[in-house]
Chain A
Amino acid sequence: MRSRIEARFADLKREGRAGFVPYIMAGDPDAGTALAILKGLPGVGADLIELGFPFSDPMAEGPPIQRAAQRALKAGMTLSGVLELARRFREGDRATPLILMGYMNLILHRGIAAFARDVAEAGVDGVIVVDCPPEEAGELADALDGADVSLIRLATPTSDDARLQVVARRTSGFVYYVSVAGVTGVKEADATAVAPMVERVRRASDLPVAVGFGIKTPERAAAIARVADAVVVGSALVDEVADAAEMNEDVTGRVLLKAESLAKAVRSARIGQTTV
């Protein structure tokens, strides 16, 4: 059976455009609001969704996502709570792929086999584990394979061709290219530097390439959308949550508005272009 991720990227290819992938932190600023945002995202142009599960020590995140995780934990979010959000989202949306993104300790804590079973049951399509490189991923990859959930791997500016082979070996769904050497949401991604790397990733893998880290504005998102199969935006959306909550504004409305402007930029980026 074709996975939701495969189906979605096939649609995008047919439409000749890149996909827009918003990242939000589960439970930020609270479970109810996060669910409302999640449910609203496909309507404003999200093609896939990344849902962060909060960890106390997120070593690859910059300040925006660190703070988002702290807010979510303070509001009582747990991994079980994240799976419940996924389940509720899936009840109303059978088509949009949902990718969980987080850190290894919570997975080990739940047990790798139980984690794989539970995410599949909740309707999750893929998992990104930031601190689990291929060298440490054998057991997790086996368990997720068995549950028909993709383990999505990261390629980075430090990956040489030999390393890309290692990364690609057991990746499924898509490859996530981390566009800057650094933490999330700090350095800005440069489309002219990203383009040749995306080509190198494509030579190592037949899978679509999504690009993330350091993409904050519609202009930047559009530039990346011209060279990649999908564009991930996280910190800029998470910052909207923080700002809106601080100003006592409608968090869901602000985040969806921001997502919509980014989605429009990504969706229209290739109009007038003949080739990618």
Chain B
Amino acid sequence: MNAPTSRPAGRPNDYTAYPDAEGRFGDYGGRFVPETLMPLVHELDAAYRAAKADPAFQAELAGYLKHYVGRPSPLYFAERLSAHLGRARVYFKREELNHTGAHKINNCMGQILLAMRMGKTRIIAETGAGQHGVATATVCARFGLPCVIYMGEVDVERQKPNVFRMNLLGAEVRPVASGSATLKDAMNEALRDWVTNVHDTYYLIGSAAGPHPYPEMVRDFQCVIGREARAQILEAEGRLPDALVACVGGGSNAIGLFHPFLNDEGVRLFGVEAAGEGLDARHAAAINGGRPGVLHGNKTYLLQDAEGQITEAHSISAGLDYPGIGPEHSWLHDVGRATYLTATDAETLEAFQLCAELEGIIPALESAHALARLPEICREVGPDGIVVLNLSGRGDKDVATVAQALGRRI
């Protein structure tokens, strides 16, 4: 099936062969961490490789995904939204129906099993919107491990219900006041904790970012989304979709959906970054408004100023409020396999309401960014085209934010 001569320059024959042994996706990725962490990063890599190849580990994970997380998640034909948008057929991959209400738990379940296999006894994580924090606290409660969640003070304020959920699950939430007090600072603080508690602590990163092997490992654990969606759309429509669409902050829900389709070049891939108040104002669009650089252990597109200092991201959605993006997305962008669009806060709010009104589904603000670009993507695939959108999370956590943005009091 591979015809190398028909591919644009720089495109590989097999997208799934990445990252390489050094953790590189083309020029992106790598292991840019302090020397103290290097032995741990190598140890994690070896442990993950052994687990990945171990059928017992995979069977255990599959069991928990089925009976605890509630997988497979449905692939749902969004009939009224499709009719509203024209003649394309839009399907939702219903990740919001997972236990804890988002795709994040797929990765947490995989990593907690790995952490226990490695004999680690303490879990730390960073969180932005709180979804990854809740998912981490959930698996820690389930397996009885102590858990510390780092969360920017700004995010603690705008995601109070999730902070309380984490507390109910027995996690300690440590507010982070340094820098911009959002997700990037929470990640700095988690890395500082890890470097200080190297012997017993497992850092459970929530996005397909950070030093190798995290981008690969998180992707692998999220690929259950794309594998299921592939089988489900073949069953529903008898063919592959014309396009996939997902929101992108760090990009774990997007890469989880995209990856099993990467070698199907007929399937177009659309990531949607948060344009916040607009690309000429405050935003969180690393690819559309940033340049390659190094942060949090990997080389990738980053928001930075003229001197190379990392700038603060802004999005109405705390989960996308991050100045970087997973390195595999940076690479897919450079080689042209995926297209990265943007949606502003205002467009996102409209799409959020439209989805609630037409489909009876309140989406997470993160996922509403993907919904916001559906009109263009549906036009692109044309009549009878098929689009699969990753409805990566539910919006219950966001109702206060949305009410405030709409000027309503609740």
Contacts and interface: CB of A to CB of B under 8 A. Distances in A.
B195 A181 contact: yes
Contacts of A60: 34, 36, 192, 195
Interface stretch (A4-12, A125-133, A251-259): A125-133
Interface string A140-183: 00000000000001111111100100010000000000100111
Given A108-B292, A131-B33, A133-B34, 18 more contacts: A59-B192, A60-B192, A103-B294, A104-B32, A105-B293, A105-B295, A106-B308, A131-B294, A133-B33, A153-B35, A156-B35, A158-B36, A158-B38, A159-B35, A163-B38, A178-B35, A181-B36, A182-B192
Nearest to A178: B36
A105 B192 CA distance: 18
Given A57-B179, A105-B310, A109-B308, A187 B39 contact: no
A109 B307 contact: yes
A17 B302 CA distance: 46
Contacts of A106: 307-309
Contact-size category for B: 35 or more
A159 B38 CA distance: 9
Given A132-B32, A135-B22, A56 B294 contact: no
Nearest to A135: B31
B226 interface: no
Given A55-B309, A59-B191, A181-B196, A105 B294 contact: yes
A79 interface: yes
Contact of A57 (B22, B33, B184): B184
17 contacts: A55-B309, A56-B309, A57-B185, A59-B33, A60-B34, A66-B178, A79-B308, A130-B34, A131-B34, A132-B32, A135-B22, A136-B30, A158-B37, A158-B38, A178-B35, A183-B192, A183-B196
Given A130-B34, A153-B35, A182-B195, A59 B296 contact: yes
A57 B185 CA distance: 8
A104 B40 CA distance: 20
A120 interface: no
Nearest to A183: B192
Contact of B310 (A57, A62, A158, A187): A57
B146 interface: no
B358 interface: no
Contact-size category for A: 35 or more
Nearest to A69: B309
Interface in A34-78: 55-60, 62-63, 66, 73, 78
A105 B178 contact: no
Contacts of B297: 131
Contacts of A182: 36, 192, 195-196
A104 B32 CA distance: 8
Interface in B163-201: 178-179, 184-185, 188, 191-192, 195-198
B131 interface: no
A195 interface: no
Nearest to A77: B307
B304 interface: yes
A13 interface: no
B398 to A, nearest CB: 27
Contact of B198 (A59, A105, A181): A181
B188 A57 contact: yes
Contacts, number: 113
B39 A158 contact: yes
B128 to A, nearest CB: 15
Given A73-B309, A135-B22, A108 B294 contact: yes
B38 A160 contact: no
Contact of A157 (B31, B36, B38, B296): B36
A186 interface: yes
A183 B31 contact: no
Contacts of A181: 36, 195-198
Contacts of A132: 32
A80 B387 CA distance: 49
Nearest to A66: B178
B310 A154 contact: no
A200 interface: no
Contacts of A160: 39
A203 interface: no
Nearest to B180: A56
Contacts of A186: 196
Contacts of B310: 56-57, 105
A27 to B, nearest CB: 12
Contacts of A157: 36, 198
B306 to A, nearest CB: 9
Contacts of A156: 34-36
Nearest to A187: B196
A119 B205 CA distance: 36
Query: Top 6 closest A-B pairs, CB basis?
Result: A109-B308, A182-B196, A154-B35, A156-B36, A56-B309, A104-B294
B32 A136 contact: yes
Contacts of A163: 38-39
Contacts of B33: 59, 131, 133
Contact of A59 (B34, B38, B293): B34
A123 B179 CA distance: 32
Interface string B301-341: 01010011111000000000000000000000000000000
